[in-house]
């Protein structure tokens, strides 16, 4: 097994910023749109403001995992 590929911290931050701003993000290395997946129970009716997202690049397989805080609605 090889070591799992990961982004640099600056790249992760760029992905988070792009996703927070645009609702999607491109892989900073491959320039392709990353796939997004919600992690957790998948129930959206529980009233939790916290949502965990996982973005995966289909090409290099690098991923970014982070919590989305949806505290602001306007």
Instruction: Kindly state the smallest distance separating residue 44's Cβ from Zn ion, in Å.
Output: 28
Three-state SS annotation for 7-71? CCHHHHHHHHHHHHHHCCCECCCCCCECEEEEECCCCCCCCCCEEEEEEECCCCCCEEEEEEECC
- Comparing CB distances to Zn ion, the nearer of 24 and 69 is 24
- Comparing CB distances to Zn ion, the nearer of 5 and 69 is 5
Beta bridge partners of 52: 39, 67
Question: Where does this chain bind Zn ion (CB under 5 A)?
Answer: 27, 29-30, 57, 59-60
Instruction: Kindly state the smallest distance separating residue 41's Cβ from Zn ion, in Å.
Output: 28
Instruction: Kindly state the smallest distance separating residue 72's Cβ from Zn ion, in Å.
Output: 30
């Amino acid at each position: 097994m090889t070591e799992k590929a990961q982004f640099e911290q600056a790249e992760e931050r760029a992905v988070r910023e792009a996703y927070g701003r645009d609702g999607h993000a491109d892989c900073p290395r491959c320039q392709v749109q990353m796939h997004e997946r919600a992690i957790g129970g998948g129930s959206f009716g529980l009233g939790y403001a916290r949502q965990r997202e996982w973005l995966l690049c289909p090409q290099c397989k690098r991923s970014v995992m982070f919590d989305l805080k949806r505290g602001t609605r306007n």
